[in-house]
Chains A and B, each alone.
Chain A
Amino acid sequence: MSIVPAATRFSRSAAAAPRPARNGWRVALTAYAVAFYIFLYAPIAIIVLLSFNKSETTGLPFLGATTHWYHVVFSRNDLMAALFNSISLGILSAIVATSIAFLLGLAFRRGFFGQPAVLGLILLPILMPGIIGGIVLLIFFGYLGIRPGLYTTVLVAHVNWVLPFVFLTLNARLQGLDRALEEAAADLGARTHQVMWRVVLPIIRPALIATLLFSFSLSFDEFIRTLFVIGYDRTIPVVFWIAIVERIAPELPAMAVITVLVSTLGSLLGFAVSARSRIKPA
């Protein structure tokens, strides 16, 4: 018994001991899982359906398929401006946060004074309510008399939000990096910057790319912090929010579908990159 590996033992027992009760559990569990995944996906499916509905009001009945609402979305200048703002903010905050976090990850590899305090601080935005993250920046910039701006106040809010996630992913990868590789490079006469560019960076490049994609997606969807510091500019979530609060416009489902597509694509690409790099032998 003990010489059989754990994995085969488990599968054997599952196959060889089909008590009736166990099958009952399995059926119940599977039925529940189907219900759960329907709960997760049905609302999204319904929104996709409604985005193609000919009806002037958002909802059923389905009066026939049309791509009209997508044309409406793409012809609204304010929406396209918001889309541009969201994409450029996503790219900028991904770059800023990833750079800061990468350097901090290198610092963590060496160790420095005050390391635990910095770790606690950088993770704070995950645990503190987003609304507080927005309010403290509103107060801070308001007190300093700094006007709300996309590439000033909003960028800071987005980097604050993205930083903990970026740091957690990059740091895990940097801590897992074998020091022997750097030592070998150094022993073979590589200078410090050569070790960095030719050894460290190529190894963690997939993690960097995945991190950039994830942070783009996080920034693209950020709403609660942005709401407090955006002033008169608009990002996609903010313009979407205002549209919902003011009135349920018939093009809202189409807007929702486009938003979901952009952020899901970003995360999915990030996921694919990090999954591929994990499979490769280090």
Chain B
Amino acid sequence: MIATPAPSLRHRLAKSGPGWLLAAPAVLWLLIFSVVPIGLMVAMSFWKSTIFGTHPDFVFDNYKRVFGSSLYTGQLLNTLRIAATTTLVSLVVSYPIALLLARLTGPWKSAFVLLLFVPFWSSYVVRTFVWLPILGRNGVINEALLALGIIDRPLDVLLYNQGAVLLGLVYVFTLFMTLPIYVTLEKLDPALLEAANDLGARPLQTLVRVIIPLSLPGVMSGSVMVFLLSIGAYITPQLLGGSSSLMFGNIIASQFLSDNNWAFGSALAVTMMLVVSIILSVLGRFVGLQQALLGSSG
């Protein structure tokens, strides 16, 4: 009895139940609260909403309304444009910081990386709200400019327009750009910079011909992430945008929160989901989810 070899771990583990039994709670949760709800929304996008409620049907009316006029497709294009601009601005703003952080060493590096994270650990709603008392009519910027005598009436152009939305989006999402670029630059072999230097490259040449090309995977990863996050924005345009700078997310939300047209709202939401899926299927391989971990928001 004592001499019999202990059964292998795999065998022992198998006795405690196969893998799928351990996976069962997660699988059930995802099926019930993710797969079925998404399926129901897709189905509902073919239903009919009337003043008496939403009824099962199979009509394309909702999609005809989405794509039939330039009203909603125009809004979609406008949203994609804002998202693309946010991505570009974030890239320009983030790249030098990623570069600097990657070249720092010792405790300073850890301190500044941590300082990069901290603001992103607090509420998205709060981080958007902060711009209201800064950019508003009686806001900090107006009061400061008035006090300095630069203007004699408060400026109204600071808030409730696309510029304010852009600023708000860059502020909440820029970490998702900085982080992946920083990670790729961090992995860069210093010997390459040394070699460029030894071969007589000027710092600008090293940057343009060595550093930037090698950091492209990080740039792509950050860009896809910021672009996707911006497409789905709701809070920022709702608080900082005017009626002319509402984004697709606001139009979808209003179908459910005020207009009570769930069937049409579903068609709009499916449209957004398709756009996101197309982007993911083309560029999804660049997305580094691990990097989204510490700076989560949305």
Contact = CB atoms under 8 A, between A and B. Distances in A.
B19 A129 contact: no
A50 B190 contact: no
A36 to B, nearest CB: 5
B41 A135 contact: yes
A99 B9 contact: no
A260 to B, nearest CB: 4
Given A100-B25, A131-B253, A132-B269, A9 B191 contact: yes
Contacts of B233: 129
Interface stretch (A76-84, A87-95, A220-228): A220-228
A100 B26 contact: yes
B276 A43 contact: no
A104 interface: yes
A21 B204 CA distance: 9
Contacts of A228: 256-257
A232 interface: no
Contacts of B249: 129, 131
Interface string B255-282: 0110000100110010011001000100
Instruction: Bin chain A's interface residue count.
Output: 35 or more
B172 to A, nearest CB: 11
Interface in A34-77: 36-37, 39-41, 43-44, 46-47, 50, 57-61
Given A224-B235, A264-B121, A127 B287 contact: yes
Main secondary structure of the interface of A (DSSP, over half): helix
Contacts of B235: 223-224, 241
Contacts of B202: 21
Contacts of B71: none
Nearest to B265: A135
A148 interface: no
B115 A37 contact: yes
B38 interface: yes
B163 to A, nearest CB: 15
Contacts of A167: 26
A256 B262 contact: no
B29 A100 contact: yes
Contacts of A21: 202-203
Given A17-B197, A139-B44, A240 B37 contact: no
A60 B236 CA distance: 23
A36 B93 contact: yes
B189 interface: yes
B122 A263 contact: yes
B138 A112 contact: no
A46 B133 contact: yes
Contacts of A107: 19-23, 26
A169 B291 CA distance: 11
B77 interface: no
A39 to B, nearest CB: 8
Nearest to A172: B290
Nearest to B190: A10
A127 B276 contact: yes
B250 to A, nearest CB: 9
Interface of A: 6-7, 9-11, 13, 17, 19, 21-22, 25, 29-30, 32-33, 36-37, 39-41, 43-44, 46-47, 50, 57-61, 99-101, 103-104, 106-108, 110-115, 118, 121-132, 135-140, 142-143, 156, 159-160, 163-165, 167-169, 172, 179, 182-183, 186-189, 192-193, 195, 217-218, 220-221, 223-224, 227-228, 236-237, 240-241, 244-245, 248, 252-253, 256, 259-260, 263-264, 266-268, 271
Q: Top 6 nearest A-B pairs by Cβ distance?
A: A129-B232, A112-B19, A10-B190, A140-B37, A107-B23, A60-B143
Interface of B: 6-9, 12-13, 15-16, 18-23, 25-27, 29-30, 33-38, 40-41, 44, 93, 96-97, 99-100, 105, 112, 114-119, 121-127, 129-134, 136, 138-140, 143-144, 147, 171, 189-191, 193-194, 197, 202-203, 228-229, 231-235, 238-239, 249, 252-253, 256-257, 262, 265-266, 269, 272-273, 276, 280, 284, 287, 289-290, 292-294, 296-298
Given A33-B112, A106-B22, 16 more contacts: A6-B191, A11-B105, A21-B203, A40-B115, A43-B134, A46-B134, A46-B140, A104-B22, A107-B19, A127-B284, A132-B41, A135-B256, A189-B6, A241-B235, A253-B133, A256-B130
